[in-house]
Chain A
Amino acid sequence: MINCIINGKKRSIDIGPCARLRELLLKNGNFAVRDSDDAEGFCGSDTVLLDGIPVFSNLVLAGEAEGCEIRTPDSLGNSMNLTVVQQALIDAGVVQSAYNAPAAALLMTWLFETNPDPSREDVKDVLSGIFIRDAGYEQYYLAAELIKEKLKYGEYKTKIAPEFRPHLKSVGKNKPKIDAPQLVSGERAFVEDYVDSDTCYMVVLRSPYAHAYVNKIDTSKAEALPGVIKVITAYNCPDVTYMSAGQGNPEPSPHDRKLLNKKVRHVGDRVAAIVAETLEEAIEARNLIEVEYEPLPAVFTVEEAMAEGAPLVHNGYVQYNAGAPADLDEYNAKLSGDEREGHVLYQFPLHGDILHNVAASNHGGIGDVDKAFAESDAVVEATYQTSQIQHTPLETHICFSKMENGRLIIYASTQVPYHVRRIVSWVTGLSENKIHVIKTRVGGGYGSKQDILVEDLTGYASFVTGRPVLYHNTREEEFIANSTRHPMKVYVKMGGNKDGQITAIYMKVDANTGPYGNHALTVPMNSCSKTLPLFKCDNMKYDLTIYYTNTPPAGAYQGYGTPKGTYGLMMAMRELADKLGVDYKDMVLKNHVEEGYMLEILRGLGEGREGNVVPVGSCGLRDAVLKGCDMIEWGKRVESDDPDWKIGKGFAMIMQGSGLPGLDHANAITKLEMDGSVIVTSGAADIGTGLDTIIAKVTSDILCLPMELITVLSGDTDSGAFDTGSYASSGTFFSGNAAVVAANNLKEKILDEAAYQLGEKVEDMELRWPGEVHSKKTDAVLSYYQIIHTATSGTGRGHLIAPGSFTTGASSVPYGAHFAQVAVNIRTGEIKVQKFYALQDAGTPINPEAALCQMYGASLKSIGHSLYENMILDEKGVCVNATMTDYGVPMITEQPDDFKAVLIDVNDPDGPFGAKSISEIACNGAAPAIGNAIYDACGVWLRSWPMNSEKLLRALGKIN
């Protein structure tokens, strides 16, 4: 028994003194004290106050709390009664995916209790033990200002963010994200908060080999252990071949894996899944499983994969659902066809060649690059290498599933509820009506939760045992058995004339997709399709080849392939500008696309099919470049007093998409409830970005109803209607537009019903704030309450319910430019980002303050990718830095001192109220902006990630 005071109440908790303090708190019900780092003491999700001092509760023994007073994040206000600190965090927009928001709120509360007038340095210091991946840290400084002002003057003095579209009441205004109160106060929100107490636990036995056959698995000792319920292996799991990418069906990704395979293809690959009554029993049983492996030689890089006679990652046989080549039998005869290999199924041709480890390929272009290069005044060429990077969401992948009356219920932390349902249906054989996917709040996705990485196995485990099952990745598993950014080798050749005109661009991209082909084609394709259309250039060509290897798997990651292509292209362009003697800024201004320019290059860059050739739509690119150049004082050299420090500037143009025209699809159902309030049931998957809030805002402005009277239910496959999910920057544009269509449809129904009830003509009716219909002819007024009450009475015409479906061929592209000022120390190699300015055209920013946080978060993430983060594999394919401390994500101390996000105001004709996407694009600019600035500072090119001191000193000839 430990006796202590928790949040002001005396408690005696029956737990051993050697347990962690966090376990004691969980036992007491303080579930908002979370773990993000396998109790490593890095992320700060487990922060509590112990006798008034912040501690990582995972690193404190329960026994140490004897007689102590503990405060946890859930002791602050609840969602109906927020404290000043919690409200300020919400208002500043930092409560995004928010897994760490309660801990941050506790720390900020503690800061203001101990120091009512904290400086910027004090805020930095108190947040130095908190890892935030979504919103960055910049707006926490704003939150601190807001708290200070509220405590001092009773109101905010500082403007939170610019507001847009004065004629609208909700869209473009700074209004609290609707899920933020729940998140900041640490209420039930995430999958782990909904787990039943009789749950079983599942753990996975993972391969120690990068490449091996699993010839035999003896599970008898494990199964004999008390508490063990089921051991699932390749020898007793369903024989269903699929893949993990949550993409539209049929997917542009090869189906090349089963639930468990008889061949493991990377260190960390699934070998067996163990379900037991307790986690400890499951782990003990895992240790008792005996596996007979037959190790095979492995390949880890694209060079090794493409080498003559290289070991084949997939060596079974190939199948096509459509478009099989005539010589398929002949081709398959050259493969081993070993039963343990399984097979690779292409839903349609992706131009793969598994006999040469090629998962997919694509080649194309416009004009004649060879001729253009020959006629150019100057040509540059170089190869740029990007590294393997992990998303590191604070909430690692988790799934809780259970059977209820023959239905499989899945609580998922996912970006793609409907794809989860489909793939679990494939694996279990249950029809989709028997599967209920509930997307809870999601503690960070960034693309990694676009893949169905744990829901297949967890769902199947519940299905086959009939028991509730919880699966939760450790942080190590999150690194090695999840998905990562594709390492890519991007060769760029660029030609230009002395007037600064770019004449030709050639890109050769060799991408490493790891052992499985989820997103194999489409991620690398984005390195061209979301970069080449930045240029008005008639001669462009690309060759994309995607290789299978035995590294940890790659998959979708915010930015998709674009950050890599942008890195190569923008660095090459700066080099070309120098070679031609032209200023880079002038060259950018001369060559960038503008509204109306027809993008022929897109024809060959569809997702495995013919792409949409469209003209450039709304485009704030030039404004972003010009404004950014002014802000950073382009052309003005900055000198340091210390001769070792050299300072340079760089910038990059960026673009992305807003979903996939012709492929994505979103639906919403909007209902007028019995008192005149509204519930929108959306298929969308808000992963913390504020998508539900966007849906509420557009509904509010269309129906002339305050946001407080609108509830958005989303991500629930039982109640919603189909939505492809949150990826490819589609949320605002697709799911937002579906909500617009549904609200407009409901508006029509309300007007029609009001006219009927008033006995007037519908054309005389209009909607008015706050939720009423007004007759322009007779001045009669009916409130929504009156309308729906009559409509649902015993003689009424029925509930007013309106569906909305959105598809489009239009492509609303967000543009922007990211600027960096970097200081490099030519003696020590230290690289410091002094200034970083992100300027973006997101169309109408519907949630301005949240939009800024998305830009800060994604920019900082990509600064991390460019300078620090890198998964290092040893010669056996083991990731040697699979912990948060070793891996190296940016914390608040790594943030640029001068960090600004600027929204360029552009109104898009196709977006909901003119909005385009905002966040994903912000991952694209940092690497080339910083790379160009390093060159500007000291004259060397760092052409591989991470651009670190070792590489800098080597490039400067200071070390070998």
Chain B
Amino acid sequence: MKDQYRLVEFNLNGKDVSCMVDCRASLTDMLRNDYRLTSVKKGCEVGECGACNVLIDGECFNSCIYLAVWARGKKIRTLESLLGPNGELSDIQQAFVDETAVQCGFCTPGFVMTAVEILESGKVYTDDELRKLLSGHLCRCTGYENILRAVKKTMYKRNGLEWKEDN
């Protein structure tokens, strides 16, 4: 009993927090159950679909195959951190809406977090590179094209590049 629970101190969406967690719990479980961050979706729970992706120290991970106790000392960011102070959508979220990249929406938060990693790198990727970077996500509704476009448009915008329809 004594060793089953551990206190994990970490930074969650900019705030220092601590949580007593079961050593066997996944980061997904902790984020959903203890912090009710419902953007972290359980799609496959074996690290295949990307619906649970969060940023850990700036790098995207499948939180379902990452133990909660490993979060100690880390900076974790979820989709909820992207919203503005009055609930405004961030540019990448708005782009997903504008490009009809959201259908059932279950994969969207994970996709967006990967997109954030891509965008925050400050680099401009080619289509092939983007496809590869987004390849850890399963989307059954959209056929990926609009998602790619949403990420690409935002990447262009952030890097001050002009967007043309035949890009």
Contacts and interface: CB of A to CB of B under 8 A. Distances in A.
A12, A198, A226, A464: most-surrounded residue (chain B CB, <10 A): A198
A12 B20 CA distance: 13
A466 B87 contact: yes
A403 B87 CA distance: 9
A196 B20 CA distance: 20
B86 A465 contact: yes
Given A12-B1, A14-B20, A464 B86 contact: yes
18 contacts: A12-B1, A14-B5, A14-B20, A196-B36, A197-B36, A198-B35, A198-B36, A198-B37, A226-B15, A403-B87, A464-B86, A465-B85, A465-B86, A465-B87, A466-B83, A466-B86, A466-B87, A467-B87
B103 to A, nearest CB: 15
Contacts of B15: 226
Contacts of A466: 83, 86-87
Contacts of B85: 465
Contacts of B87: 403, 465-467
Given A198-B37, A403-B87, A466-B87, 11 more contacts: A14-B20, A196-B36, A197-B36, A198-B35, A226-B15, A464-B86, A465-B85, A465-B86, A465-B87, A466-B83, A467-B87
Interface in A387-409: 403
Interface in B30-45: 35-37
Interface string B4-26: 01000000000100001000000
B92 to A, nearest CB: 18
Contacts of B36: 196-198
Interface of A: 12, 14, 196-198, 226, 403, 464-467
Closest 5 CB pairs of A and B: A466-B87, A198-B36, A197-B36, A14-B20, A466-B86
Contacts of A226: 15
Nearest to B16: A226
B1, B20, B86: most-surrounded residue (chain A CB, <10 A): B86
A464 B87 CA distance: 8
Nearest to B37: A198
Interface string B82-95: 01011100000000
State the main secondary structure of chain B at its contact with A. loop
Contacts of B20: 14
Contacts of B37: 198
A66 to B, nearest CB: 15
Nearest to B5: A14
Contacts of A198: 35-37
Interface string B54-96: 0000000000000000000000000000010111000000000
Contacts of A12: 1
Nearest to B1: A12
Nearest to A466: B87
Contacts of A196: 36
A12 B37 CA distance: 25
Contacts of B5: 14
A465 B84 CA distance: 10
Nearest to B2: A1
Nearest to A14: B20
A150 B83 CA distance: 59
A437 to B, nearest CB: 20
Interface string B110-151: 000000000000000000000000000000000000000000
Nearest to A226: B15
B145 to A, nearest CB: 24
A197 B36 CA distance: 6
A198 to B, nearest CB: 4
A197 B33 CA distance: 9
B167 to A, nearest CB: 31
Contacts of A465: 85-87
Nearest to A199: B36
A459 to B, nearest CB: 14
Nearest to B84: A466
Contacts of B86: 464-466
A812 to B, nearest CB: 48
A196 B37 CA distance: 11
Nearest to B38: A198
A12 B83 CA distance: 37
Nearest to B33: A197
A12, A14, A466: most-surrounded residue (chain B CB, <10 A): A466
B89 to A, nearest CB: 10
Nearest to B15: A226
A12 B2 CA distance: 11
B109 to A, nearest CB: 14
A466 B1 CA distance: 40
Contacts of B35: 198
A212 to B, nearest CB: 31
A400 to B, nearest CB: 14
A226 B11 CA distance: 14
A12 B86 CA distance: 39
B27 to A, nearest CB: 17
Contacts of B1: 12
Contacts of A403: 87
A14 B83 CA distance: 33
Nearest to A462: B87
Nearest to B80: A198
A156 B15 CA distance: 60
A644 B28 CA distance: 75
A403 B89 CA distance: 13
B5, B85, B87: most-surrounded residue (chain A CB, <10 A): B87
Nearest to A406: B87
A304 to B, nearest CB: 44
A197 B83 CA distance: 19
A88 B85 CA distance: 52
Nearest to A403: B87
A466 B87 CA distance: 5
Contacts of A467: 87
A226 B16 CA distance: 10
A196 B1 CA distance: 29
A14 B7 CA distance: 12
A14 B22 CA distance: 13
B82 to A, nearest CB: 12
B3 to A, nearest CB: 13
A226 B87 CA distance: 19
Nearest to B83: A466
A194 to B, nearest CB: 14
A385 to B, nearest CB: 50
A144 B86 CA distance: 55
